[in-house]
Structure 1
Amino acid sequence: MEAVLFDLDNTLVNRKQAFEQFSRKFIDRFAAAHNPEHRLRLVEQLRAADRNGYREKRELYEEMRRTLPMRDEATTAEDLLAYWFAEFPSCTVAMDGAELVLQELKSRGIRIGCVTNGSARAQYAKLDQVQLKGYFDAVIVSEEAGVKKPDRRIYEMALSRLQARPENCWFVGDHPEKDAQGAAAAGLRPVLLLTAPAESGPLLPEGTLTINKLQELLPLCTGPFLRF
C-alpha cells in the first residue's frame, strides 16, 4: 500500500457533533426564541436546513435570514455567514480514533492524503482546530481544486501530489456516492465509514470495505484485503 486518503467531515472530524454545538450557539446569538421549547425547534430547523453539511453555505444562511425570527432585524445574511466562518471551526472535534489511526499509518511509512469538499478557509481551520494537519502529505480542498467529489479529477490531483498509483491506494469516507463511488471511479479502493444507520441509496462499488469506526481500518491494512 502506497497511500491512504481520507474525507474530512464525519470521517476524521465529527461534523455532526460540531454542528449540534454550533447550532445552539447560533440560535442563542441571533434568533428571538420565545421559550426553551421554541429555542429547540429553531435549533432543529437550522440542523435540518443544513442537510448534514451538504448545503451551500450562502444559500443556507440566506434562508435562515428569511425564515428565522431575528433578535435584531438589521442582521443580514452576510452577518450570519461571517459568524459561520468565525465560529464553526472552534466547535470542531476529531472523530474517535482519528489521530491514533493517522499516527499508525505514518509509522508504517504510508503516505496520507485528505480530499474534502468545502471552502479552503473552513476546512483548513477545522484541521488546525483538531491539530491533524501535520499528518498529511497532501490536502486537496474542492474550492482550491475547482472540482468537487465525486469528480474523479479531485482524487487524481491528490494522487499526483502523493506520487501514488490508484491501485495501491485506499480512500476512507462516509458518503456512498461522494466518497465510495468517486474514489472507485478514480481507481482507488473505497472504505466506507458507517456513521449513520443504513439507508437506501446508491449501490457501493464492488470491492468496497465497510468499517464502523476508524480503528477498524488498521487491521485491514495488513490483512487479505490489500488487493481488489
Structure 2
Amino acid sequence: MKAVFFDLDGTLLDRETSINIFAENQYHRYYKSLRHIDKELYIYRFIELDNGGMVWKDKVYQQLVKEFKLMDLTWEELLADYVTQFRHSCTPFPNLNKMLNSLKKMNIKLGMITNGKEEFQQYTIDALEIEDYFDPILISEKEGIKKPNPKIFEKALHHLQVEPDQSIFVGDNPESDINAAKQSGMKSILKKTNGVICDNADFVIDDLKEIPIIIRALSVSN
C-alpha cells in the first residue's frame, strides 16, 4: 500500500456530534426568534430534515421557517449562520491526528475526496486542522464531479502517481465511498457510523486507530 484516501464527513468528522452541537448553539443564538419552539424539537427537526447531510440547508431552513411559522427570521439568515458558524462545532472522531501521524511515519501518501460545497468543506477541514496532512484534497463542487463518479477517484490517483491496487479508500457511505472506490480498483475500509454495514467493504472499522494496523498487514502480505 502506497496511498490512503479519505472521505471527510462521517469518516474524519464526527458529523452526528457536530450537527447536534451546531443545532443547539444555533437555537441559543436565535433564541429571541425561536423561543416559542421547544429546543429539543428544533434540534430534532433540523437533524431529521438534514437527512445525514443529504439535503442542502436552503431546503432545510425553508421548511423550518414554514413549519415553525417564523416571522422575524428568514431562511437566508439561518443558512448564512450555518455556513459561517458550523465550523465552530466541528468535532473529529477519536484518534484522528494519531492515526494520520502514524500513516505519515509509514511514508503513506494521504489524499481526501469529499462531496460538498467548496467553501463549506474547506471551513470544516480548517476547523479540524488537518489540511497539511493531505495532498490532494478534492472537493466535488470545485472539481465539477462528485463521488461515485470514477473520474474523481482517477484524478486523485493520478495526482499521487499511484495505481488503484496500491491504494485504499476510507469512507462511511456504502455507495459513494465503498462501492465507488472498489469499482475504481481500490481496496476499501468502511468507517462504521450509525450501524451502517456494507458487505462489499474489504475491511470494517469502529475506530480510526485501526487503519494503520490494516495498512501494516497489507504491506506485509504484499
- TM-score past 0.5 threshold: yes
- Measured in 1, the distance between the counterparts of 2:146 and 2:211 equals 25
For residues 93-122 of structure 1, what are the alpha-carbon distances to aligned partners after superposition, in whole Å with 9 as ceiling and x for unaligned?
211111111111111111100111111111
Structure 2 residue matching 1:196: 3-state secondary structure? coil
- Measured in 2, the distance between the counterparts of 1:66 and 1:164 equals 50
Q: Do residues 32 (structure 1) and 34 (structure 2) align?
A: yes
AA paired with 2:93? M
1:220 to 205, 214, 218: 214
Deviates more, 1:101-110 or 1:53-62: 53-62
Q: Structure 2 vs 1, CA of residues 146 and 76 (structure 1 numbering), >3 Å: closer, same or farther?
A: same
Shift of 1:227: 6.9
Structure 2 match to 1:97: 95
2:193 to 192, 195, 211: 195
CA contact (8 A) 1:191 1:211 kept: yes
AA paired with 2:34? A
Instruction: Report the aligned-residue RMSD.
Output: 1.9
- Measured in 1, the distance between the counterparts of 2:64 and 2:160 equals 40
Structure 1 match to 2:168: 170
Structure 1 match to 2:118: 120
Identity level (%): 29
1:87 to 76, 85, 88: 85
For residues 200-228 of structure 1, what are the alpha-carbon distances to aligned partners after superposition, in whole Å with 9 as ceiling and x for unaligned?
xxx533x6211111111111111158779
Shift of 1:158: 1.2
AA paired with 2:61? Y
Runs of 4+ in 1 over 6 A off after TM superposition: 225-228
For residues 176-206 of structure 1, what are the alpha-carbon distances to aligned partners after superposition, in whole Å with 9 as ceiling and x for unaligned?
111101111111111001122246xxx533x
Structure 1 residue matching 2:113: 3-state secondary structure? strand
Aligned residue-pair number: 220
AA paired with 1:156? E
